[in-house]
Amino acid sequence: MPTHDLRCSACGWKAVDVFVRVESLPVCSDCGEPSQIDWSHGRAPSVRGHGYGSFTAIDMGTLGKAETKEDYDRAVATIQQRFPGHRVELTSETSNKKSERLDGLRQRAYTERKKAGVDDAVRRDMREEAAARKAEKAAAKPVAAPSGGAS
Protein backbone atom coordinates (compact mmCIF):
# COMPACT_ATOMS: atom_id res chain seq x y z
CA MET A 1 0.00 0.00 0.00
CA PRO A 2 1.52 3.38 -0.93
CA THR A 3 2.22 6.19 1.48
CA HIS A 4 0.89 9.64 0.65
CA ASP A 5 1.01 13.10 2.10
CA LEU A 6 -2.55 14.35 2.58
CA ARG A 7 -3.90 17.89 2.86
CA CYS A 8 -7.23 19.62 3.23
CA SER A 9 -7.88 22.43 0.74
CA ALA A 10 -10.50 23.99 3.05
CA CYS A 11 -8.51 24.45 6.29
CA GLY A 12 -4.90 23.61 5.36
CA TRP A 13 -4.63 20.46 7.53
CA LYS A 14 -1.69 18.21 6.53
CA ALA A 15 -0.73 14.62 7.26
CA VAL A 16 2.63 13.15 6.20
CA ASP A 17 3.38 9.55 5.09
CA VAL A 18 -0.09 8.09 5.59
CA PHE A 19 -0.73 4.50 4.45
CA VAL A 20 -3.90 4.95 2.45
CA ARG A 21 -5.48 3.81 -0.80
CA VAL A 22 -6.42 6.51 -3.29
CA GLU A 23 -9.97 5.09 -3.48
CA SER A 24 -10.54 5.60 0.24
CA LEU A 25 -9.01 8.92 1.25
CA PRO A 26 -9.99 9.97 4.77
CA VAL A 27 -11.80 13.17 5.64
CA CYS A 28 -10.01 16.05 7.34
CA SER A 29 -9.75 15.53 11.08
CA ASP A 30 -10.18 19.28 11.74
CA CYS A 31 -13.07 20.37 9.50
CA GLY A 32 -14.52 17.11 8.10
CA GLU A 33 -14.00 18.05 4.43
CA PRO A 34 -12.59 15.42 2.05
CA SER A 35 -8.78 15.33 2.00
CA GLN A 36 -6.63 15.28 -1.12
CA ILE A 37 -3.23 13.87 -1.97
CA ASP A 38 -0.57 16.54 -1.54
CA TRP A 39 1.89 16.47 -4.46
CA SER A 40 3.68 19.67 -3.45
CA HIS A 41 6.76 17.75 -2.27
CA GLY A 42 7.43 16.64 -5.86
CA ARG A 43 8.03 12.97 -4.99
CA ALA A 44 6.06 9.98 -6.13
CA PRO A 45 4.41 7.89 -3.38
CA SER A 46 6.53 5.06 -2.02
CA VAL A 47 5.41 1.48 -1.67
CA ARG A 48 6.54 -0.34 1.46
CA GLY A 49 6.94 -4.09 1.44
CA HIS A 50 10.56 -5.04 1.92
CA GLY A 51 12.20 -5.98 5.20
CA TYR A 52 10.98 -7.64 8.38
CA GLY A 53 7.56 -6.67 9.65
CA SER A 54 6.30 -5.25 6.35
CA PHE A 55 5.49 -8.57 4.70
CA THR A 56 3.12 -11.27 5.86
CA ALA A 57 5.12 -14.48 6.27
CA ILE A 58 4.17 -17.24 3.84
CA ASP A 59 4.92 -20.93 4.31
CA MET A 60 6.42 -22.07 1.01
CA GLY A 61 6.41 -25.78 1.94
CA THR A 62 9.76 -27.47 1.30
CA LEU A 63 11.32 -24.11 0.41
CA GLY A 64 10.75 -22.86 3.95
CA LYS A 65 8.98 -19.83 5.31
CA ALA A 66 9.27 -16.57 3.37
CA GLU A 67 9.65 -13.88 6.05
CA THR A 68 10.41 -11.00 3.64
CA LYS A 69 9.54 -10.03 0.08
CA GLU A 70 13.11 -10.95 -0.91
CA ASP A 71 12.65 -14.48 0.52
CA TYR A 72 9.37 -14.79 -1.37
CA ASP A 73 10.95 -13.61 -4.64
CA ARG A 74 13.79 -16.11 -4.17
CA ALA A 75 11.33 -18.95 -3.55
CA VAL A 76 9.26 -18.02 -6.61
CA ALA A 77 12.43 -17.88 -8.73
CA THR A 78 13.40 -21.36 -7.48
CA ILE A 79 9.95 -22.72 -8.34
CA GLN A 80 10.08 -21.15 -11.79
CA GLN A 81 13.55 -22.65 -12.37
CA ARG A 82 12.39 -26.13 -11.36
CA PHE A 83 9.12 -25.93 -13.29
CA PRO A 84 9.66 -23.71 -16.36
CA GLY A 85 6.51 -22.54 -18.08
CA HIS A 86 4.32 -22.93 -14.97
CA ARG A 87 2.72 -20.08 -13.08
CA VAL A 88 3.10 -19.52 -9.33
CA GLU A 89 -0.23 -18.73 -7.71
CA LEU A 90 -0.80 -18.37 -3.98
CA THR A 91 -4.20 -18.81 -2.43
CA SER A 92 -5.10 -17.86 1.09
CA GLU A 93 -6.28 -20.47 3.53
CA THR A 94 -9.06 -19.65 5.97
CA SER A 95 -9.01 -21.14 9.44
CA ASN A 96 -11.88 -23.47 8.46
CA LYS A 97 -9.98 -24.72 5.39
CA LYS A 98 -6.86 -25.22 7.51
CA SER A 99 -8.74 -27.22 10.15
CA GLU A 100 -10.38 -29.34 7.41
CA ARG A 101 -6.96 -30.03 5.87
CA LEU A 102 -5.45 -30.96 9.24
CA ASP A 103 -8.43 -33.17 10.10
CA GLY A 104 -7.94 -34.96 6.79
CA LEU A 105 -4.25 -35.53 7.58
CA ARG A 106 -5.12 -36.90 11.02
CA GLN A 107 -7.77 -39.19 9.54
CA ARG A 108 -5.34 -40.55 6.93
CA ALA A 109 -2.70 -41.17 9.63
CA TYR A 110 -5.28 -42.95 11.80
CA THR A 111 -6.39 -45.10 8.84
CA GLU A 112 -2.78 -46.03 8.02
CA ARG A 113 -2.12 -47.02 11.65
CA LYS A 114 -5.27 -49.16 11.69
CA LYS A 115 -4.22 -50.88 8.45
CA ALA A 116 -0.84 -51.65 9.98
CA GLY A 117 -2.55 -53.09 13.08
CA VAL A 118 -1.33 -50.35 15.42
CA ASP A 119 -4.12 -49.11 17.63
CA ASP A 120 -4.10 -46.90 20.73
CA ALA A 121 -3.59 -49.85 23.11
CA VAL A 122 -0.52 -51.01 21.18
CA ARG A 123 0.89 -47.48 21.11
CA ARG A 124 0.32 -47.15 24.88
CA ASP A 125 2.09 -50.50 25.49
CA MET A 126 5.01 -49.39 23.32
CA ARG A 127 5.36 -46.15 25.36
CA GLU A 128 5.20 -48.09 28.66
CA GLU A 129 7.88 -50.55 27.46
CA ALA A 130 10.13 -47.69 26.40
CA ALA A 131 9.68 -46.01 29.81
CA ALA A 132 10.44 -49.31 31.61
CA ARG A 133 13.64 -49.82 29.55
CA LYS A 134 14.71 -46.26 30.34
CA ALA A 135 14.10 -46.80 34.07
CA GLU A 136 16.07 -50.11 34.03
CA LYS A 137 18.94 -48.42 32.24
CA ALA A 138 19.00 -45.59 34.78
CA ALA A 139 18.90 -48.07 37.69
CA ALA A 140 21.73 -50.19 36.23
CA LYS A 141 24.22 -47.30 36.17
CA PRO A 142 26.73 -47.61 39.04
CA VAL A 143 26.78 -44.78 41.52
CA ALA A 144 30.24 -43.23 41.74
CA ALA A 145 31.63 -42.71 45.23
CA PRO A 146 32.63 -39.15 46.08
CA SER A 147 36.38 -38.59 45.74
CA GLY A 148 38.63 -36.95 48.30
CA GLY A 149 38.13 -39.12 51.35
CA ALA A 150 39.79 -39.00 54.82
CA SER A 151 43.46 -40.01 55.27
8 Å CB contact between 87 and 75: no
Q: Which residue has the higher pLDDT, 132 or 23?
A: 132
Question: Residue 42 domain-assigned?
Answer: yes
Based on the domain organization, do 57 and 41 belong to the same domain?
no
Question: Residue 118 domain-assigned?
Answer: yes
Question: Residue 145 domain-assigned?
Answer: no
Question: Residue 19 domain-assigned?
Answer: yes
Based on the domain organization, do 35 and 67 belong to the same domain?
no
Based on the domain organization, do 21 and 43 belong to the same domain?
yes
Question: Residue 147 domain-assigned?
Answer: no
Q: How many domains does the chain have?
A: 3
Based on the domain organization, do 32 and 9 belong to the same domain?
yes
**Element of type H or E holding 76:** helix 69-82
Question: Residue 149 domain-assigned?
Answer: no
Distance separating alpha carbons of residues 74 and 112, to the nearest angstrom:
36
8 Å CB contact between 69 and 49: yes
Can you give the residue range of the structural domain that contains 104? 95-138
Based on the domain organization, do 114 and 80 belong to the same domain?
no
Q: 19-66, pLDDT tens digit by residue? A: 777 677 778 878 888 887 776 655 544 444 555 556 677 777 778 888
Using DSSP, state whether 2 is helix, strand or coil.
strand
Mean pLDDT over the full length of the chain: 77
Question: Residue 61 domain-assigned?
Answer: yes
pLDDT at 107: 92
